[in-house]
Amino acid sequence: MTTSSAAGEPLTIVAGGGSVPAYVAAAAMKAGRPVLIIALKGEADPSVEAFPHEWVGWGDLGRLEALLKRPGARDMVLIGSVRSRPDFNSIKIDLATMRSLKDILSIIVGGDDDVLSGTIKFFERRGQRIVGAHEIATDLVAAPGPLGRRKPGRGEAADIAVAMRAARAIGAIDAGQAAVVVNGRVVALEAAEGTDQMLERVKGIRASGRVKWSGRAGVLAKCPRPQQDLRVDMPTIGPRTIEAVIEAGLAGIAVAAGKVMIVDREAVVRRADEAGLFLVGEADPAS
C-alpha cells in the first residue's frame, strides 16, 4: 500500500459502499494523517468501523456541518458506491437545511453529473478541498506495464491499441468507458449498461457464433471519459470484472495507467494470474 499525502494533516473521508474507503483510511493513517470517516447510512461497508468514524444519514445536514469543523481538516475524499440518491423526504428541515437549500436542490434535481458536481460544490463551499482517493493511496491505480505474470503477445498488443482507441472515442461523446476488441475487430462498445453487462453481451455474441474465436483472445480496454472528474468519478475494475472477462473468453484487460481504479487489487491480480489473463496499464496519450 503506497501513499502520496501531506503527513500530519487531517483527512475526512465521506464513505459510500465497498472496500475502498477503508483502504484509503489505512493508507492515510500509515502516512501519519488523522482520519475521520463520515459513513453514509445504508451505503458504507462495516469495515469503516475499524477507523474513527461517524454514521450520517442523507438528511443530517446540521450534524454533517458540525463534523466538518474539525480543526485543520481541509482535505476530503469522496469514495465508494452509492446505490440511492438523497430525496426531499430524507432531509431534516433545520437551520442548516435552510442555509443550504440551493446546494441541496442542485444535488437532488439534476442528473448523475449534476449530483457529482453539486456534491463537490457543497463541500468546497464549506472549506473542503476535494482530493482523489488515488492521491492518498497511489497503488489503487495501475502504473504503465504488466500488473501480473502474463504479458500480452504481439497480436494482443495490436488488439489493445484498437480497443483503447475505441474506448477513448466513445468517451469523447460521453457514451461509455470501455471497449472489447478480438483479433482486430471491435466486438462491443460500452453504453448505459456498464462494463459487466457489456461483457455479458460479448459472452452472448460468442455463444451465438456471430463472432468466432478459439481459446482465449481479445481484450477489454477501459479508460475515463475526457470530461470525467477523476477525484470523485474514476472508472474501476474489480473481481467481478475479471470473472466476466473469463466467462466472455477474452485474453486480458488493459486500463489507462493512473486513471482506472483497481478495487481489491491483490485479489484481481491473483485471479488474473490463475486464469492466465494479462492485465496491463497503458499510458494515456491524453495525459
Q: What is the CATH number of the domain that holds 38?
A: 3.40.50.20
- The CATH number assigned to the domain holding 239 equals 3.40.140.80
Whether the predicted model's global pTM rises above the 0.85 cut: no
Which range in 6-10, 87-91, 94-98, 234-238 is most confidently predicted, on average pLDDT?
A: 234-238
Segment 174-179 long-range contacts (CB within 8 Å, at least 24 positions apart): 174/225, 174/227, 177/222, 177/223, 177/224, 177/225, 177/235, 178/220, 178/221, 178/222, 178/223, 178/235, 179/220, 179/221
Question: Of 136, 165, 185, which marks where a domain is finished?
Answer: 136
- The whole-number pLDDT of residue 72 equals 84
Do 64 and 176 reside in the same domain of the chain? no
Residue 132, class by beta-carbon neighbours within 10 Å (0-12 exposed, 13-18 middle, 19+ buried)? buried
pLDDT digits (tens, 9 = 90+) for 219-244: 999 999 998 899 988 999 999 999 99
- The whole-number pLDDT of residue 287 equals 55
Higher-confidence residue of 260 and 108: namely 260
- Of 196, 273, 179, 277, residue with least CA distance to 241: 196
Residue 170: give the domain boundaries. 141-282
pLDDT for residue 104 is more than 80: no
Question: Of 136, 161, 178, which marks where a domain is finished?
Answer: 136
In a domain, 80, yes or no: yes
Do 129 and 147 reside in the same domain of the chain? no
Average pLDDT, the chain: 87
pLDDT digits (tens, 9 = 90+) for 166-190: 999 999 998 999 999 999 999 999 9
Cβ 96 vs Cβ 122: under 8 Å: no
pLDDT digits (tens, 9 = 90+) for 260-270: 999 999 999 99
Region at 182 (left for phi over 0; alpha for psi -120 to 50; beta for the rest): beta
* Total count of domains within the chain: 2
Residue whose grid cell is 490463475: 274
- The whole-number pLDDT of residue 114 equals 53
pLDDT for residue 68 is more than 80: yes
In a domain, 231, yes or no: yes
